[in-house]
Amino acid sequence: MTAAARVLRLLAEHGQSLAVAESLTGGLVAAELTAVPGASQSFRGSVTAYATPLKQRVLEVDEALLTERGAVDPEVARQMAAGVRRVLDADWGISTTGVAGPGPQDGQPVGTVYVAVVGPSGVEKVAALRLNGGRADIRRESVRSALELLADELSGNVRAQDTEQNGGNGCLQP
């Protein structure tokens, strides 16, 4: 099962929705998700904010942050995920921002990527990636990493809910 199929299955099982904010991946995360039959049950949509000013205007990323640090930053990734979640009214938001090449951007070398997940109950995760390979390799691995980060979070939430429903904390007691 692909990461996209796994994410969509987990979202559907819990009646939750997803929105995606993309920069360096340019719509590839959304394409991966919509390639899965039945994606419309959980996938709300995406914003491809390739140009830095769109991150601020559309996704509500802090303008001072973008000016100070540039678009390739972990906090920018977090704010993108939170922004798309809010703007598209989804339970979960994921984002990708980084440098696929051919040259550095915002003082960051090629292969610097941040992917983020923001969800219900205050969930906020950002992964910093240092990827090798050409532009296509970096973009492809960014897509996979963003989907895996969300899948892991959804799986963790499922385990936590199961534990709560069963009245335990997962620990054995004497």
> Can you give the pTM of this predicted structure?
0.90
pLDDT at residue 79 in the model: 98
Please give, one letter per residue, the 3-state secondary structure of 69-87: HCCCCHHHHHHHHHHHHHH
Domain 3-164 fold: Maf protein (3.90.950)
Report residue 140 as tokens.
């492809």
Region label for 61, one of left (φ > 0), alpha (ψ between -120 and 50) or beta (otherwise) = beta
**Is-contact 20 95, C-beta < 8 A?**
yes
Mean pLDDT of the chain: 91
Helices 3-13 & 135-165 angle (0-180, nearest 10) = 30
DSSP bridge partners of 48: 22
Domain limits of the chain? Answer: 3-164
User: What's the CA gap between 12 and 92, in Å, rounded?
Assistant: 12
What is the average per-residue pLDDT within 34-40? 98
118-159 residue pLDDT tens: 999 999 999 999 999 999 999 999 999 999 999 999 998 544
Q: Is 127 helix (H, G, I), strand (E, B) or coil?
A: strand
Tally the residues of the chain: 174
Q: Which of 143, 36, 47 is nearest to 88 (CA)?
A: 47
What's the pLDDT tens digit per position in 74-109?
Answer: 999 999 999 999 999 999 999 999 999 999 998 999
* Residue 4 burial (CB count, 10 A): 23
**Least confidently predicted of 37-41, 104-108, 140-144, 160-164:** 160-164
Residue 157's pLDDT is: 55
